[in-house]
Structure 1
Amino acid sequence: MKNRLTKTICGLSLLTLMISSNVSAQNADKELILSQIETLFDGMRAGDSAAVSKVFTRNATMQSVFKNREGETVISSGSLQNFKNAVGTPHEQVWDERVANIQINVDGEMAVAWVPYSFYLGKDFSHCGVNSFQFAKTAEGWKAISIVDTRRRTNCAEDL
C-alpha cells in the first residue's frame, strides 16, 4: 500500500512538472510572438520597411475580408511586397495601428494571434477590425506566414 502511494505521488509530481514546463515554454513563445506583432506596428509607425520585413516569412500572404457597398462579402488578396514598399515610401501622416486584447494560441511550431485594432492616419481615425496572424516557428524564430484582416468604420472599440 505504501509503495503504491509513493508511486502515485511520484507520478503526479512528474505530471505537474511536465505541465509546468510546457506552460512555461508556451508563455515564452507567446512573448516572442507578441514582440513580432509589436515590431510590425512600430515599423509601420516609423515607416521602416526593413523592420516590417523581419516579421514575415518570404512567402507570407495577406488578405482582407470586408463588405462592399452592396453588402457583399469580399475576400481581397494583397501583396506583401507592395505592403512593405508602401510602408517604406515616405507619407505625410503616421500609420498608427493601435492594438489591444491580443490573444495568442500556440501548438508546437504553429501559432495564431487574434489582434483587434483601430487604424489612424495621423490623428484621424480611418477604420478598425481584427488581424488574424498565423505564425510558424522557423530557424530564425517566430515569423508571420499569413495575415487576414477585417476592416470596418463602425462598431469600433473606443479605447484603442
Structure 2
Amino acid sequence: MLGVAAFSALAGGNAQAKDAYSALQREALGAVDAFFAAMAKHDVDASRRLILPGASFVVVLPDGRVKVEPDSGYRDMLGKHKEAFRERIWDAQVTVQGNLAQVWAPYDFHLDGKLSHCGIDSFSLVRGTDGWRIAGVSYTVQKTGCAPSPLGELK
C-alpha cells in the first residue's frame, strides 16, 4: 500500500484527488511506489519481485534516440550504482481493466539530492496471484527546461 507521502505525491498533494483513485488503481500505484522505494534502496531482490521476467525498459533520450533494455540490465545497473536515487511522480493517470493496468505520470529524478532530469513515466502492469507486477517501463528524459514540480523541493 502507498505511504502517505507517496500518495500525496501521486495525487499532486490534493486530498480529494487521492480519494478519486479506485481500490484497484491504488493497488497498481502501490506497485509503482514499491518500485521507486526499491530503486531508492538499490534493492535488487525487491526489484526482482516487482518486475516480471522479460520486462523491458524503454527510454526516449533528449536527442530522440530510443534505448531498450531488459529487466536484467536494470537490475545490474541498480546493483552497481551507489548514488542516491529519488524519483517522484504526480498527477498519475491510472487505467485498470481486469488484470491489466497502465500508469502515466510526469516525474522528476534526483541523483544525490540534485535534479538530474524530468519527463513522463509510463508503466504497464499485470496482476497475478502475487499482486501487481511491472511488465514494462517507458519514459522520456528531459535534461533542460524541467518545470518546477508541484511536490516542491526535494527534502
Question: TM-score by structure 1 length?
Answer: 0.75
Structure 1 residue aligned with 2:133: 143
- Percent identical residues: 25
| Aligned equivalent of 1:56, options 51, 59, 62 | 51
SS for the counterpart of 1:67 is coil
Q: In structure 2, what is the Cα distance between the partners aligned to 1:67 and 1:34?
A: 27
Structure 2 residue aligned with 1:134: 124
Larger RCO (CA under 8 A, 6+ residues apart) = 2
Unmatched tracts of structure 1, length 5 or more: 1-25
Structure 2 residue aligned with 1:7: none
Count how many residue pairs are aligned between Structure 1 and Structure 2.
130
Residue by residue over 1:35-79, the C-alpha shift from the partner in whole angstroms, topping out at 9 and shown as x without a partner, is 1111111111111111122221111111011332xxxx2221012
Structure 1 residue aligned with 2:70: 79
Deviation at 1:88, TM superposition (A): 2.3
CA RMSD of aligned residues (A): 1.6
Runs of 4+ in 1 over 2 A off after TM superposition: none
| Aligned equivalent of 1:104, options 77, 87, 94 | 94
Structure (1 or 2) with the larger CA radius of gyration = 1
Deviation at 1:158, TM superposition (A): 0.9
SS for the counterpart of 1:54 is helix
Question: TM-score by structure 2 length?
Answer: 0.77
Larger helix fraction of residues: 1
Q: In structure 2, what is the Cα distance between the partners aligned to 1:132 and 1:156?
A: 18
Structure 1 residue aligned with 2:14: none
Unmatched tracts of structure 2, length 5 or more: 1-20
